[in-house]
Structure 1
Amino acid sequence: MRKIAVLLTSVSLGLAAVAAAPTMAAAQDAAGPNLTAGTTVYDSEGTEIGLISSVSGSNIVVTMNGKPVTLPANAFTQGDKGPAITITLAQLTAAIDKAAADNAAALTSALQPGADIRSAGGTAILGKVKLVDATGVVVTTPTGEVKVPKNAFFVSQQGLATSFTAEQFASAVAQANQASAADDAAVAAALKPGVEVRSINGAAVLGTVKSFDNANVVIATASGDVALPRSAFNMGASGIVAAYTPEQFAAAVAQATGAPAPAAETAAGDTSAAEAPAN
């Protein structure tokens, strides 16, 4: 299974979120504020917020502290320095934080196994949620499974959706399937008795391949043998890797053999203790 890249999304705030302070309409000139890409925008007190990065209809995307924030065009007026919103930077920041928290809570509630996932426009169902973990969301599609980062999802009026159009998602799944097939072929070629198997980041040697079939790979360790699912193996820069940290592998060996597994042979600077199992 492969991960697919996520399209950049931004926090989107409605007019109500930026209308908490008195309007500066009296300062607006007849032509209105200059809402074009590259223009600096300010808050109601003249503090710089950031640059407009793009304009799409009535949606103005402003880069604020390196992150995109979408504001409605009617939230802007003409201030002394240039285009300005009608609230302070502190109020805008608070509104963004609240919107992000509300979005996260809604997304957690919506990301349930079996839930339909719609395209960015909400017109097409791309697949269903299979499982959710700290590393992303596994999506079941007619052409296979793919793991997508959580930040690719949001809750739309139609329900759970992604930042991908149907065409973009289909292309990403196809690329992920091709990469997965290539990796599976590489693993199949490398799986030979006696070959070392390393931890998920490749720093620690977990054991050596004893035998394998289409479903499982048996790993030999000093404490005994343990069978792991074939799907847990990938090719890393240092060879075959299993989707386990040394600690997780030791626990699997202990469960299989009834005896503690020996400490894994760890390379200098190993940070695998902080790794998470891949799916």
Structure 2
Amino acid sequence: MKFDRKFLMIGAALALPAAPAFAQTPMPAPTAAPTQSAPAANPAPTAAAGQPQLAAGGKVYDTKGGEVGTIESVDASGAVVSTGTNKVKLPTNSFAAGKTGPMIAMTKAELDAAAGAAAKPLALNVGATIYGPQNAEVGKIEAVEGDLVTVATAKTKAKLPKSAFAMGDNGPVIGMTAAQLDAAAGAASASTSTPANPS
């Protein structure tokens, strides 16, 4: 289903790593939630201390305390956040407990921009330029095979799932710079070529 695939992209895009590093990592774009109204649900259970309390009507904030929007509904798979401009369904693991309430790693403007970009059709064609944060060029698409896209930077090649891409103003975007992609590809290559230690 198209919605499920986009929903999975949101989870990868907004999952908050341990603080304070989450403010340092650019995130790929989430997808807009369907606009039909969903029935209000019970708040998501919070198993551990420090988990955000998600409930319909609650406010959502960014990491600096700025208001992002209001939670419209919550179910086991996520919460629909309305910014006033867009409604975006975010998985529950995208939220962290903040001083003023649940928070995400995007500002209202970033979430609105990402929702707008996600609404654009995604074209992953061989030869297309891939962009990263601040529209910096990352590399070019070298191949598209099934659900994998090979991106060639100036230094390396990396296979990324199609769900790692969103459509930006200039073309396909990912949440990494060329240097970050090169480092990740190098680390993945090293881990697969390192011989196991015999016991």
The TM tier, using the shorter chain, reads 0.3 to 0.5
Q: Highest Rg: 1 or 2?
A: 1
> Could you tell me the TM-score, scaled by structure 1's length?
0.35
Kindly indicate which of the two structures has a greater share of residues assigned to strand: 1
